[in-house]
Amino acid sequence: MVLDAEYGAPGTAEREAFRAEAEAFYAGQILRESRKEARMTQSELAQKLNVTKSYISRIENGLINPSVTVFYRIIEALGMRVEIVKPIA
């Protein structure tokens, strides 16, 4: 498999690092698109959350993952909600 050759087998440190980086990037892109749909600048969102604009930028660029608390605050500030659903077995 291509991922195995590039990033190591599933469960290896290299593969887990790649997975974490990919998830951070994907989450950042979702937040960026949601912020833009809300017609809010990074500065406006940062001000609502009492964080810096660069912090929002780093999240949106997948460089960092916000804590769960900050993630929920971002979602709320953008007028969104998180829904957790138990899958049907």
Q: Looking at the domain assignment, is residue 34 inside a domain?
A: yes
Q: Looking at the domain assignment, is residue 68 inside a domain?
A: yes
What integer pLDDT is reported at residue 7 of this predicted model? 76
62 Cβ contact partners less than 8 Å away, ≥ 6 residues apart = 21, 24, 25, 26, 27, 28, 29
SS3 for 1? Answer: coil
Where do we find the tokens 């994907």? Answer: 26
What integer pLDDT is reported at residue 63 of this predicted model? 93
Q: Looking at the domain assignment, is residue 21 inside a domain?
A: yes
pLDDT tens per residue, the chain (89 residues)? 777 787 778 888 888 888 889 999 998 999 999 999 999 999 999 999 999 999 999 999 999 989 999 999 999 999 999 898 998 87
Q: Residue 20: name the closest of 55, 65, 56, 51 by CA.
A: 65
CATH number at residue 7: 1.10.260.40
What integer pLDDT is reported at residue 51 of this predicted model? 96
- Answer yes or no: pTM beyond 0.95: no
Q: Helices in 1-89 by DSSP H: which ranges?
A: 2-7, 13-37, 42-49, 53-60, 68-77
Q: Looking at the domain assignment, is residue 41 inside a domain?
A: yes
